[in-house]
A and B are shown apart, each in its own frame.
Chain A
Amino acid sequence: MASLATSGVLDLVTRTRGKGRLHWTDWLAYGYLLLGLFLMFGPVVWVVLSSFKSEAQLLEFPPTALPYGQVSVAVPGYPEPLPLFRVRMPDGSLREVAQIRRIGIQAQMVDPAAPETILRVDIAGREPVRALSLATENYTALFERFDFLRYLWNSVFITVTATLIMLLVNSMAAFALAKYDFRGRDLVFVLTIATLLIPPTVVLVPVFLVVAKLGLLDTPWGVIWPGAATPTGVFLLRQYMLTIPDELIDAARMDNASEWKIYWRIVLPLAAPALAVLAIFAVMWRWNDFLLPLIVLSRSEQFTLQLALNSFKGEMHTQWGNLLAMTVLTLLPITLVFGFLQRYITTGIATTGIK
């Protein structure tokens, strides 16, 4: 992503259309794109920066762009490092001194260079000395105080399992619909595609009942099974498998391969490009899934990251630090995947039109 960013920006600045000078519409276009860059990436960057701020700094208004922390110095004679302040002295000079303690509106200060003399300063006259620092405690707290690893594991388990099951089940159905000629094939195909017309939100209530009756409430399987067969996946894979020559399958039959072996050893490897596209989508769907887990999973130890984020939003409205850190960790995997597979994903969507 970073190298992409630099090369993109470099290209923008240094090169032209190749016809020499930039036309004014080019300037307009680049202006629009830079505005877009700011609007699209800005909020995410802002959240990442904020997630490294301490709780105290998060409450500051107006906020600083970068995360800062107060500088502390070790002063001889004091066991703990002391926070450093910039103080205007009675003689009008500015000095950097360390604070020992605060008493009412007065503060006891000490100059680290001359630790023997204790100064008394009005707290209104001091200002903390700050330097860039990352407050990683937002992240470490997720592991120490909140059950982050459990939510992460739940999300990873559901995403990986559901994706694998979906690829297997969908590709089997797609193979049957693409390469066999049997009575009722067209009916099955139409019935499969017709489920595209039924958005998951519409059957929310009965799906809940079915999941409950199967005893899958509050288990990851209650989220995995309802989405294991997708019309999109069957359709995408079938269209791809149609391009595999029939002669290849005939050849395998002549080679004494069973139908299952033809599927497993010939068709599946050859459909790898389509499977990869579908796998990326499936990971995206499952990782980001919200409504189905919301109704199926009610015990917090079964929560996915998305559910945990949602519930923390209510519980921890004063603890933005942890919430932001968790948001960043949740968007990180998708961002990394996108960074590496950007071209693949965008062309995959542009050609298949699925999301």
Chain B
Amino acid sequence: MATLELERLVKRYGTVEVIHGVDLAVPSGAFCVFVGPSGCGKSTLLRMIAGLETVSAGEIRIAGRRVNELPAARRGLAMVFQSYALYPHMTVRQNLAFGLENLGTPRAEIARRVAEAARMLRIEELLDRRPKALSGGQRQRVAIGRAVVREPAIFLFDEPLSNLDAELRVQMRIELKALHERLGNTMIYVTHDQVEAMTMADLIVVLSKGRIEQAGPPLELYHRPANLFVAGFLGSPKMNFLPVRPAEGGVRLASGDRLAMPEPALGTEAELTLGVRPEHLALAPAEAGAGLAGRVRLVEHLGAEVHLHVETGAGTLTLRTPGEWAAAAGDRVRVVIPPEACHLFGPDGRVVRSACRGPQRG
């Protein structure tokens, strides 16, 4: 168990800078998820922490100690790779033992730890098989087991679930979370899947283009995104974005409708973006006086809920409502935008007004 701190961390390949000065503090015992689109630098960041990539500038501290110069194996970390990276020519037992043998651990101790990890991960009957003879889920367990036997201060996971099918992924997600609760170690987990991030993390770090966009607890990020990128990245279907201009006592939509905002004045000339999550929009009958007039373009039935795509004068809006919906494409409807659920983002993408809804404000 250990804290992890990154300070002004930079990575350059030749003259190309891919990580632009990252600052982050992960408390001891936290489950921290790095999430972002592919190419955002999250894997590079993880490999720098692991010691597999050199640090161009800045500092990495594990349990308060600078580790920049330490080779990978001496940082007290263990890593689970995306492809699992099990040694194909060794049995499961040998795979688990290899790292401990290299560290000169006594034989009895190796046997004890391997047996314990195997029991914990329910791979005892697989110990004498080769990786080739295992299913995807079993390989995943062995890869985790290889990290567990090392008893590391920090676990690193590099998109470990991306090679599994959907059902198994859900199951492994639950098991990993349980493992974290049981071991209590600090875990750093890289994924591009926001569902994994939301469900597993204590602390989400959203990365984009080699920078941290926002770091914080999952619901905090979901309800109070710091910028357009985070707002758009988390949540499915995505948050609706509409271009707006400030107006007296609120904002004016592209359709000309005015939306009252009880918050302080927003200046006058700036181009703003209004963001509102699909589940916060409500539908009203076409005859109703309130709301934006629009026409349904597409109805997606998911069983428990319905996604509606409605074309309005202010732009296309996606709505998410529970249950079923009898409407069909082409129906005329009205969409009600509740002002208290709206975020406003400035021209630079930063939030200028957060929604009043959320865990803190109810």
Chains A and B touch (C-beta atoms under 8 A apart): yes
Query: Residues of A with Cβ closer than 8 Å to B?
Result: 245, 247-248, 250-258, 261, 265-266, 269-270
Residues in A neighbouring B72, C-beta threshold 8 A: 250, 253-254
Would you call B99 and A247 a contact (CB within 8 A)? Answer: no
Identify which of B73, B83, B85 gathers the most chain A CB atoms within 10 Å of its CB. B85
Would you call B73 and A248 a contact (CB within 8 A)? Answer: no
Would you call A251 and B79 a contact (CB within 8 A)? Answer: yes
Residues in A neighbouring B79, C-beta threshold 8 A: 250-251, 254
Residues in A neighbouring B99, C-beta threshold 8 A: 254-257
Would you call B103 and A256 a contact (CB within 8 A)? Answer: yes
Would you call B52 and A250 a contact (CB within 8 A)? Answer: yes
Q: Is B229 an interface residue when CB atoms closer than 8 A count as contact?
A: no
Q: Is B256 an interface residue when CB atoms closer than 8 A count as contact?
A: no
Q: Is B233 an interface residue when CB atoms closer than 8 A count as contact?
A: no
Residues in B neighbouring A245, C-beta threshold 8 A: 83, 85
A-B contact pairs, 24 of them (CB 8 A): A245-B83, A247-B85, A250-B50, A250-B52, A250-B79, A250-B85, A251-B85, A251-B87, A251-B146, A252-B98, A253-B51, A253-B71, A253-B72, A254-B72, A254-B77, A254-B79, A254-B99, A255-B150, A256-B73, A257-B98, A257-B102, A258-B102, A266-B87, A270-B89
What is the CB-to-nearest-CB distance from A270 to chain B, in angstroms, rounded to a whole number?
Answer: 6
Residues in B neighbouring A252, C-beta threshold 8 A: 87, 98
With contact pairs A253-B72, A255-B98, A261-B102 given, residues A270 and B88 touching in the complex (Cβ less than 8 Å): yes
Tell me, in angstroms, the Cα distance from A266 to B85 when the chains sit together: 11
CB nearest neighbor in B for A268: B89
Query: Residues of B with Cβ closer than 8 Å to A?
Result: 47, 50-52, 71-74, 77-79, 81-83, 85-89, 98-99, 102-103, 146, 150
What is the CB-to-nearest-CB distance from B55 to chain A, in angstroms, rounded to a whole number?
Answer: 16
Known contacts A250-B50, A251-B87; 8 further A-B pairs (Cβ under 8 A): A251-B81, A251-B146, A252-B98, A255-B73, A255-B98, A255-B102, A257-B102, A261-B102
Tell me, in angstroms, the Cα distance from A261 to B86 when the chains sit together: 16
What is the CB-to-nearest-CB distance from B143 to chain A, in angstroms, rounded to a whole number?
Answer: 9
Identify which of A250, A251, A261, A269 gathers the most chain B CB atoms within 10 Å of its CB. A251
Residues in A neighbouring B78, C-beta threshold 8 A: 254
CB nearest neighbor in A for B13: A181
Identify which of A254, A266, A270 gathers the most chain B CB atoms within 10 Å of its CB. A254
What is the CB-to-nearest-CB distance from B145 to chain A, in angstroms, rounded to a whole number?
Answer: 13
Would you call B102 and A256 a contact (CB within 8 A)? Answer: yes
CB nearest neighbor in A for B156: A254
CB nearest neighbor in A for B72: A253
Residues in A neighbouring B81, C-beta threshold 8 A: 247, 250-251
Would you call B88 and A247 a contact (CB within 8 A)? Answer: no
CB nearest neighbor in B for A253: B72
Identify which of B77, B83, B87 gathers the most chain A CB atoms within 10 Å of its CB. B87
Identify which of B47, B73, B86 gathers the most chain A CB atoms within 10 Å of its CB. B73
Tell me, in angstroms, the Cα distance from A252 to B101 when the chains sit together: 12
Residues in B neighbouring A257, C-beta threshold 8 A: 73, 98-99, 102
CB nearest neighbor in A for B71: A253
What is the CB-to-nearest-CB distance from A256 to chain B, in angstroms, rounded to a whole number?
Answer: 3
Tell me, in angstroms, the Cα distance from A269 to B88 when the chains sit together: 9
Question: Which 10 A/B pairs are nearest by Cβ-Cβ distance?
Answer: A255-B99, A256-B73, A251-B85, A247-B85, A256-B102, A269-B89, A247-B81, A253-B72, A248-B85, A254-B79
Residues in A neighbouring B83, C-beta threshold 8 A: 245, 247
Residues in B neighbouring A247, C-beta threshold 8 A: 81-83, 85
Tell me, in angstroms, the Cα distance from A340 to B79 when the chains sit together: 44
CB nearest neighbor in B for A261: B102
Residues in A neighbouring B77, C-beta threshold 8 A: 254
Tell me, in angstroms, the Cα distance from A270 to B87 when the chains sit together: 9
What is the CB-to-nearest-CB distance from A336 to chain B, in angstroms, rounded to a whole number?
Answer: 29
Tell me, in angstroms, the Cα distance from A252 to B146 when the chains sit together: 11
Residues in A neighbouring B82, C-beta threshold 8 A: 247
Residues in A neighbouring B98, C-beta threshold 8 A: 252, 255, 257, 265
Residues in B neighbouring A254, C-beta threshold 8 A: 50, 52, 72-73, 77-79, 99
What is the CB-to-nearest-CB distance from A262 to chain B, in angstroms, rounded to a whole number?
Answer: 10
CB nearest neighbor in A for B104: A256
Residues in A neighbouring B86, C-beta threshold 8 A: 251
Residues in B neighbouring A258, C-beta threshold 8 A: 102
What is the CB-to-nearest-CB distance from B161 to chain A, in angstroms, rounded to a whole number?
Answer: 15
Tell me, in angstroms, the Cα distance from A251 to B79 when the chains sit together: 7
Residues in B neighbouring A270, C-beta threshold 8 A: 88-89
Tell me, in angstroms, the Cα distance from A163 to B88 when the chains sit together: 26
Tell me, in angstroms, the Cα distance from A252 to B52 when the chains sit together: 11
Residues in B neighbouring A266, C-beta threshold 8 A: 87
Tell me, in angstroms, the Cα distance from A83 to B103 when the chains sit together: 80
Tell me, in angstroms, the Cα distance from A350 to B329 when the chains sit together: 60
Identify which of A252, A256, A269 gathers the most chain B CB atoms within 10 Å of its CB. A256
Tell me, in angstroms, the Cα distance from A265 to B99 when the chains sit together: 12
Tell me, in angstroms, the Cα distance from A247 to B163 when the chains sit together: 14
Residues in A neighbouring B71, C-beta threshold 8 A: 253
CB nearest neighbor in B for A266: B87
CB nearest neighbor in A for B79: A254
Residues in A neighbouring B103, C-beta threshold 8 A: 256
CB nearest neighbor in B for A258: B102
Residues in B neighbouring A255, C-beta threshold 8 A: 73, 98-99, 102, 146, 150
Tell me, in angstroms, the Cα distance from A107 to B31 when the chains sit together: 109
CB nearest neighbor in A for B73: A256
Residues in B neighbouring A256, C-beta threshold 8 A: 73-74, 99, 102-103
What is the CB-to-nearest-CB distance from A122 to chain B, in angstroms, rounded to a whole number?
Answer: 79
Tell me, in angstroms, the Cα distance from A261 to B103 when the chains sit together: 12
What is the CB-to-nearest-CB distance from B136 to chain A, in angstroms, rounded to a whole number?
Answer: 16
Residues in A neighbouring B87, C-beta threshold 8 A: 248, 251-252, 266
Residues in A neighbouring B74, C-beta threshold 8 A: 256
Tell me, in angstroms, the Cα distance from A248 to B81 when the chains sit together: 9
Residues in B neighbouring A265, C-beta threshold 8 A: 98
Tell me, in angstroms, the Cα distance from A253 to B79 when the chains sit together: 10
Tell me, in angstroms, the Cα distance from A84 to B79 when the chains sit together: 87
Tell me, in angstroms, the Cα distance from A257 to B102 when the chains sit together: 6
Tell me, in angstroms, the Cα distance from A250 to B52 when the chains sit together: 7
